[in-house]
Amino acid sequence: MPQVAQTVMAADPLEAVAWRWSILRDFAGAARSRCRRDKSRDVVVQQVARLSASASARTNGQLNIAVLTHLIGVAALFTGADLRVMRTGALTLLLLLVSVAALAQFDGRRSPFGRRMHTNPAATAGTPQAEFNFTRLIYSGNSMDDMGRGFGGWGSWRTDWPEAEQHLIQGIRRLTLVETADDGQIVQLFDDALFDFPMLYAVEVGRMELSQAEADRLREYLLRGGFLMVDDFHGSLQWRNFDLQMRRVFPDREIVEIDEADEVMHVMFDLNKKMQIAGIFALQFGVTFEQDGVTPHWRGIYDDDGRLMVAINFNMDLGDAWEHADWPEYPEPMTAMAYRFGVNYLIYAMTH
């Protein structure tokens, strides 16, 4: 099977800087709001410290933007400083220097800004092992890729891997009679095995950047009956990037809201579109949204016969709901709904 390797392209570094500041605003702002509501800075500081430790552990001790975000959030609590003021001077320099230092700890196969070059010998698709194989899509990243939660130097495509699919697979086995492989697969668009898998899962797609050849390949996969589920991207900045990538794939098709009466919403479970399925970091700060993604959306792209080809979970994080299904801190109703969405998507993908 081919090895994962993508060409590094230059991109505007200001895009990455803007993204970093959007993350800082979200977490520090949420922390200050929680502080005012609880009237206790100690509670918020403890939460921030816990999240920082968790992020550090998940990166095997590598410093990354998530840890820095939480530390600056704590600083904002104690100083009461407005981040619009903190953007200038020494803090901006510190943010950039630490971010570059974090990149230097990785495998050295990327440009600090631009499309990432992911080379992972294990990232190849194998032969399907069962009727259904949960299959995660490897994609090329833009300047935001791997600077946040794409841990380990492999890119944002692997966020929540492999825990998210391991938990979901157990749910599929419990809730359906679909023969499901023990482990998930990972596949890139030019793998020969791509067309052996009826459903692909792509995460953090606000950081995805497809070449035209990749877009053409994805279009072929979808028009030949494939199904793509995308998840865990938030806010207007990430939406603009994802919309651009989909226009490369389908320049003649619109992204539309999935109707409540659509079959995918009822193929096995009746799904609730009113619940925003949140990420664990947001929940720790008492909110369900990230960046400016306050309102959840279920959107899609359809073929000429009305078949849903791309299911878009925007301003939501089903992957976290699966990954943290056994965490007491994660709300059970969100996990339960995320399982139902996952099951409906796979049943729809395998029957349409």
Does 55 share its domain with 176? no
Does 156 share its domain with 94? no
Does 213 share its domain with 86? no
The confidence score (pLDDT) of residue 2 equals: 31
β-bridge pairing 256-257 and 297-302 = antiparallel
User: Can you count the helices (H) and strands (E) in the chain?
Assistant: 11, 7
Mean pLDDT, the chain, integer: 75
Alpha-carbon torsion (189, 58, 160, 182), positive or negative: positive
Does 331 share its domain with 237? yes
Count the domains in the chain.
2
pTM: 0.68
Secondary structure (DSSP) of 30-91: HHHHHHHHHT-HHHHHHHHHHHHHHHHHHTTT---HHHHHHHHHHHHHHH---HHHHTSTHH
Gap between the Cα atoms of 148 and 157, Å rounded: 12
Here the tokens at position 218 are 């994805």
Inter-residue contact 283 to 330 (CB < 8 Å)? yes
Does 95 share its domain with 161? no
Here the tokens at position 103 are 């990149």
Does 32 share its domain with 151? no
Gap between the Cα atoms of 345 and 347, Å rounded: 6
Residue 99 in any domain: the answer is yes
Residue 3 in any domain: the answer is no
Does 218 share its domain with 280? yes
The confidence score (pLDDT) of residue 205 equals: 96
Does 76 share its domain with 187? no
Gap between the Cα atoms of 249 and 208, Å rounded: 13
Does 291 share its domain with 187? yes
The confidence score (pLDDT) of residue 325 equals: 94
Which residue, of 81, 104, 127, is where some domain finishes? Answer: 104
Residue 111 in any domain: the answer is no
CA nearest neighbour of 306 among 246, 348, 343: 348
Helical segments of the chain, H only = 13-38, 41-58, 65-79, 83-86, 90-104, 163-175, 212-223, 235-249, 280-284, 318-323, 332-351
Residue 289 in any domain: the answer is yes
Residue 52 in any domain: the answer is yes
Residue 129 in any domain: the answer is no
Domain that holds residue 246: 135-351
Residue 117 in any domain: the answer is no
Does 87 share its domain with 158? no
Does 62 share its domain with 180? no
Inter-residue contact 203 to 169 (CB < 8 Å)? no
Give the domain CATH number at 161. Answer: 3.40.50.12140
Residue 72 in any domain: the answer is yes
Inter-residue contact 301 to 230 (CB < 8 Å)? no
Question: Which letter does DSSP use for residue 245 in this model?
Answer: H
Does 143 share its domain with 70? no
Inter-residue contact 6 to 115 (CB < 8 Å)? yes
State which residues of the chain have pLDDT below 70: 1-126, 142-154
